[in-house]
Amino acid sequence: MRPPRLGVVTTPIVGWTEELTRARLHVVTGKGGTGKTTVAAALAIALATGGRRVLLVEVEERQGIAQLFDRAPLPYAEERIASAPGGGELRALAVDADAAFMEYLAMFYNLGFAGRTLRRMGAIEFVTTLAPGLRDVLQTGKVKECVGRTDDAGRHMYDHVVLDAPPTGRVVKFLDVTKAVQDVAKVGPIKGQSEGVVRLLHSGDTAVHLVTLLEEMPVRETLDAVAELDGADLRPGAVFVNRVRPARLANRSVSAAAGGRVDADRLRAGLTTAGLALAEDEFQGLVEETVEHAVRVRAEQRARELLAEADLPAVELPDLVDGVDVGALYELAETLVDQGVR
């Protein structure tokens, strides 16, 4: 038999667009708790599928990538962490702002022993306090260097770079290098370097993806972030709707149950047909679970409608009840590939 039509609002899911396939730097942001790092990792594997090389970068000194891939903390170096289907390769880098700063200074000055001592004293933290935008400029600068790097044959070292970026509340400030540099450096090498970063971030090579859940707050934050990105002339890419849970009731049952009306006689009769004779409190428990499920599904429908206002391509990832381990990342990546991610 055909499965019953379930309570899902069929918002047209646009999937991955042609425009998105041209991006080489994929910035992934989202409200805290939406699964930004997981999505970034799954996207990186999806993009590496079919023999490409992808770099996954984190900048918040959280070691989220190492935890996700269940390995020791990443050093400040590009390390191979996984392979992708079809001969692809995934490398990861945790950009440490202090190290990036020292690396940067070393390009211009030979500090020798003093560098390490100053670092221990907290001098770098102090300088980045003096000029808060500096940290962001150094980190985006490192990312740009990775995107632009070529091998001896002049080919790009990485086909794609995926950046696990700060959460939505901070991401525009993080990416808006122009503004940060105006505040920080009027002259000198930083200014020259950051002009290249600005060009990259505002070009078609970069897409800023937003991760959300089907809940009101994350969706509202997503819409705010889209407006903010537009305002800063940065390009929103796709919306990743994460942790989508299955809807188990037909549409009309959803509206009734969400209003507290579950047809008890019909339900009991159905359970009896299935050979289940439940005690009254157990039956009431099932009814209560049904009402909660319906209220949630209805809230998700509203979230979807709200999300449609963003008018962006969207891809969906299922909720994984058993949690996310390395194997699950590959499953998620496969779902993305099925939705056209390449």
Partner 1 sequence: MPAKLHVDKLLDDPATKVIVCCGSGGVGKTTTAAALAARAAERGRRTVVLTIDPARRLAQSLGLRELDNTPRQVAVEGFDTEDRLHAMMLDMRRTFDDMVLAHAGPDRAEQILSNPFYQTISSSFSGTQEYMAMEKLGQLAADGSWDLIVVDTPPSRSALDFLDAPQRLSTVLDGRIIRLLSAPARAGGRGLLKLVGAGFGLFTKAISTIIGGQLLADASAFVQAFDSMFGGFRERAQKTYQLLRSPGTAFLVVAAPEPDALREASYFVERLAAESMPLAGLVLNRTHPVLAKLPAGKALAAAEELDRANESPLAAGVLRLHADRVAVATREQRLLARFTKAHPSVAVTGVPALAEDVHDLAGLREIGRRLAGE
179 lines the binding site for partner 1 (CB under 8 A): no
Which of 113, 152, 154, 155 touches partner 1 (CB under 8 A)?
113
Nearest CA to 236 out of 56, 20, 81 is that of 20
Instruction: Tell me the closest approach of the beta carbon of residue 32 to partner 1, in angstroms.
Output: 4
Using CB under 8 A as the binding rule, the residues of this chain from 86 to 105 that contact partner 1 are 105
What does the alpha-carbon distance between residue 206 and residue 311 come to, in Å, rounded to a whole number?
18
Tokens of 174: 């993080």
149 lines the binding site for partner 1 (CB under 8 A): no
Q: What is the largest CA-CA distance in the chain?
A: 82
Using CB under 8 A as the binding rule, the residues of this chain from 231 to 260 that contact partner 1 are 245-246, 248-250, 253
Q: Are 237 and 26 in contact (CB under 8 A)?
A: yes
Task: For residue 10, give the 3-state DSSP assignment.
Answer: coil
Q: Are 209 and 28 in contact (CB under 8 A)?
A: yes
Nearest CA to 268 out of 250, 247, 290 is that of 290
What does the alpha-carbon distance between residue 13 and residue 40 come to, in Å, rounded to a whole number?
20
328 lines the binding site for partner 1 (CB under 8 A): no
What does the alpha-carbon distance between residue 262 and residue 241 come to, in Å, rounded to a whole number?
29
Q: Build a one-symbol-per-residue string for 280-319: x at contacts with partner 1 by CB under 8 A, - elsewhere.
A: --xxxxx-xxx-xx-xx--x--------------------
Which of 80, 108, 192, 311 touches partner 1 (CB under 8 A)?
108
Number of residues counted as binding partner 1 (CB under 8 A): 77
Instruction: Tell me the closest approach of the beta carbon of residue 305 to partner 1, in angstroms.
Output: 15
* Residue 71 or 202 with smaller CB distance to partner 1: 71
Instruction: Tell me the closest approach of the beta carbon of residue 49 to partner 1, in angstroms.
Output: 26
Which of 1, 72, 153, 154 touches partner 1 (CB under 8 A)?
1
182 lines the binding site for partner 1 (CB under 8 A): no
Which of 12, 110, 151, 155 touches partner 1 (CB under 8 A)?
110
User: 119: exposed, middle or buried (C-beta count within 10 Å: 0-12, 13-18, 19+)?
Assistant: middle
Nearest CA to 99 out of 137, 139, 66 is that of 139
What does the alpha-carbon distance between residue 58 and residue 40 come to, in Å, rounded to a whole number?
10
52 lines the binding site for partner 1 (CB under 8 A): no
Strands 160-164 and 25-30: parallel
127 lines the binding site for partner 1 (CB under 8 A): yes
From the CB of residue 216, how many other CB atoms can be counted at a distance below 10 Å?
13
Which of 85, 115, 148, 196 touches partner 1 (CB under 8 A)?
115
Determine the residue type at 159: D
216 lines the binding site for partner 1 (CB under 8 A): yes
129 lines the binding site for partner 1 (CB under 8 A): yes
Instruction: Tell me the closest approach of the beta carbon of residue 231 to partner 1, in angstroms.
Output: 18
Candidate segments 43-51, 146-154, 187-195, 308-316, binder of partner 1 by CB under 8 A: 187-195
